[in-house]
Amino acid sequence: MKKIFFILLLFVGSGLQAQEIKWMSLPEALEAQKTEPKKIFMDVYTLWCGPCKLLDKKTFANKDVARYINEHYYAVKFNAEGNEEIAFYDQLFRNPNYDPNRKGRNATHQFTQFLGIKGYPTMVFFSEDGDPIMPVVGYFKPQQLEPYLKMIKQGDYAVFSTPEDIEIYLKNFIPRFRG
């Protein structure tokens, strides 16, 4: 009886464990694309950004979001004010004004500027070839992020020709993720 209880406890306990997004660096994701092509989902954040922390705590911790991103994307975390070197499009991007002793806001990374990011958080989608597709700016709840995850993964974005096309898509989208 104890053995059955223990096995049942293990089974139930493993189901309660939250699924987490498997984050990697951009160089790791670009390398992984060479053997298994997948789109890249990049979370561009800063250490001082409240909505960025909320996105981590509420949206990225959601099991439906984590499962979907892990299955269909390479997930990248990128500190927009960090000191990481990024090789992209035959260029090397740095943060030459980065100050490790600075508290709060720091200098903006060159790669952040290259991507045209003006606000945080920003989630950037990249194609299987590593080309930027589109950014999504701001805090999104799981059911608000879901249509973008699915639209990009399925390639629906490629047939949109106007911002109104995206608005219609979002308006008609029926979310499946649990909040």
Residue 123 included in any domain:
yes
CA dist., res. 113 & res. 117, Å (int): 6
Biggest distance spanned by C-alpha atoms of the chain = 64
For 48-96, the pLDDT digits (tens) are 999 999 999 999 999 999 999 999 999 999 999 999 999 999 999 999 9
Say if CB 39 and CB 133 are below 8 A apart.
Answer: yes
Residue 25 included in any domain:
yes
Residue 11 included in any domain:
no
Say if CB 152 and CB 125 are below 8 A apart.
Answer: yes
Report how many domains make up the chain: 1
Residue 161 included in any domain:
no
Query: Is the model's pLDDT at 4 over the cut of 70?
Result: no
- 22-40 average pLDDT score: 97
Residue 75 included in any domain:
yes
- CATH assignment of the domain containing 63: 3.40.30.10
Residue 174 included in any domain:
no
For 98-145, the pLDDT digits (tens) are 999 998 999 999 999 999 999 999 999 999 999 999 999 999 999 999
Please provide residue 105's backbone torsions phi and psi, each rounded to the nearest 5 degrees: -65, 145
117-154-175 Cα angle (round to 5): 85
Query: Is the model's pLDDT at 9 over the cut of 60?
Result: no
Residue 69 included in any domain:
yes
pTM of the model: 0.88
Residue 78 included in any domain:
yes
Q: Look up the domain containing 58 and give its range.
A: 18-140
